[in-house]
Amino acid sequence: MDPHPLPLGHDLGMKPFEAVQYFFDEAADILELSESARQLLSIPKRELRVELPLRRDDGTLSVLIGYRVQHDNSRGPYKGGLRFHPSADLDEVRALASLMTWKTAVVDVPFGGAKGGIEVDTATLSRAELQRLTRLYTRAIADVIGPTTDIPAPDMATNAQVMAWIVDEYSQMVGHAPGVVTGKPIELGGSPGRNEATGTGCIVCLDQAVAHAGMKRERTTVAIQGFGNVGSWAAREAQERNYVVVAASDVGGAVYCRGGLDIDQLIEHSDATGSITGAPGVDSITNEELVALDVDVLIPAAVAGVINPSNVDTVRASIIVEGANAPVTPRADAALASGGVTIIPDILANAGGVTVSYFEWVQNIQRFRWSRQRVMGELESMLTSSYRLVRSRADKHDVPLRAAAFVVGIDRVHEASKLRGIL
Ligand code: NAD
């Protein structure tokens, strides 16, 4: 199904929000949504742009720009990560906020969708500068966030420490408020299992796809692009469940071992040197070669747009698990789908993070800590049932998993908007 045909090269120039809208429109056509419903569900509710005057360690001033886009809150408070990345402009943050609206709805957690970003390369900041920048941003957006309004979480180049600084800065303004963010350190009200949730969720979904295809885990080879929070935990979980992880990469390059990588050793090497490249007993390859490897499963878990018209013909995997947000562009998506490749879309595959963020938020409200076993058990069961629902919608409409996931998500948000009397 390809309701909005585009020339093959088009999506190389497509902006991130336009790409998300392309997938939105596919599903809106299936649901036969009215024009007013499409507008209501597409346009973000609020977009905030803030100036961040950062005093550098050497006394000079750098003026940075930050964003918070709140896309939809008809199903609950806005929810979405915060990324520090040079590409985090308004259009990218808007696209990611929209994806969050559909993601929270696909896994049926009671949140809406939002995203935050600061256009910055954290490699250029000292730890003290990073903390000052985080605090500046928190003050700048404090009026629009809060435990029942909008709850940020970690994303690219942000982590539990960054969340801890946000809790501290926000609590100085309004009183103790650990529920203002998720992905906090456990000592400050974080949840066991949150760190590993997104990567683990990818593998929970992969298990379903592998079983559906009649494949055996121990004979299934996997390549993972990106070895940060999502990629490294996906690698660990895949190895734990007996998949053969033959390749992994980070921004510095990729490593390959035909018989399977030793993931613990790779993590040790990465922790010690800052990169997985140069680890002992592995071959070095490029990130492009990793995408083109003869493997069963490819997990892009780094940045957007890495599988696009320029390299889609090189992909040999039969299953793609989107650990990253928007790693496959619309034209590449159509080409892969017509070639019979199963793509587990971002709004399902990487929803483990927001699912455990929901558990963390619930624990903060309850003032009660769940065990790791309970968190991981609930995660497995919620993602498995979400996958099966999406699979059944795909069969019903005879469409790929991505279109089916958008149908599930949009349908739920549409219904909530109708019940509230907005539509
Ligand atoms: P991270 O900053 O922890 O890790 C990013 C990894 O990607 C690093 O290993 C980095 O070296 C690598 N990388 C960066 N640019 C690359 C490139 N051009 N080629 C190859 N590798 C590259 O970030 P993360 O939290 O793991 O997030 C990764 C992706 O997953 C993002 O798209 C993010 O939006 C998405 N995501 C993250 C979460 C979460 O809970 N952290 C949840 C849902 C989705």
User: What pLDDT is recorded for position 12?
Assistant: 60
Active site residue 115: yes
**Does the C-beta of 154 come closer than 6 Å to ligand 1?**
yes
Neighbouring-strand partners of residue 33: none
CA distance 354 to 367: 19
Ordered DSSP codes for 221-232? EEEEE--SHHHH
User: What pLDDT is recorded for position 414?
Assistant: 98
> For residues 374-395, b (16+ Cβ closer than 10 Å) or e, as one string?
ebbebbbebbeebbebbbebbe
Q: Which of 15, 45, 103, 115 is catalytic?
A: 115
Pocket mutation for ligand 1, best pick of 107, 184, 236, 251 (most atoms within 8 Å of C-beta):
251
The one-letter amino acid code at 196 reads: E
Which residue's CA lies nearest to atom 23 of ligand 1? Answer: 156
Q: Which of 385, 357, 293 is nearest to 113 (CA)?
A: 357
The one-letter amino acid code at 413 reads: V
Pocket mutation for ligand 1, best pick of 162, 205, 227, 229 (most atoms within 8 Å of C-beta):
229
The two beta strands, 61-72 and 113-118, are antiparallel
Is-contact 173 143, C-beta < 8 A?
no
Which residue's CA lies nearest to atom 35 of ligand 1? Answer: 324
Q: Which of 411, 400, 393 is nearest to 105 (CA)?
A: 411
Is-contact 413 40, C-beta < 8 A?
no
CA distance 7 to 30: 22
**Does the C-beta of 116 come closer than 6 Å to ligand 1?**
no
- Ligand 1 atom closest to Cα of 194? 40
User: What pLDDT is recorded for position 8?
Assistant: 41
33 C-alpha vs ligand 1 centroid, how far in Å? 34
Neighbouring-strand partners of residue 200: none
User: What pLDDT is recorded for position 357?
Assistant: 98
Q: How far is CA 184 from the centre of its chain?
A: 17
Which residue's CA lies nearest to atom 34 of ligand 1? Answer: 325
Q: Please, what is the Cα angle at 344 between 342 and 346, to 5 degrees?
A: 145
**Does the C-beta of 287 come closer than 6 Å to ligand 1?**
yes
- How high is the mean pLDDT in each 10-residue block of the chain (423 residues)? 43 85 97 98 98 98 98 98 96 98 98 98 98 98 98 96 98 97 97 97 98 98 97 98 98 97 97 96 97 98 95 98 97 96 98 98 96 98 98 98 98 98 94
416 C-alpha vs ligand 1 centroid, how far in Å? 32
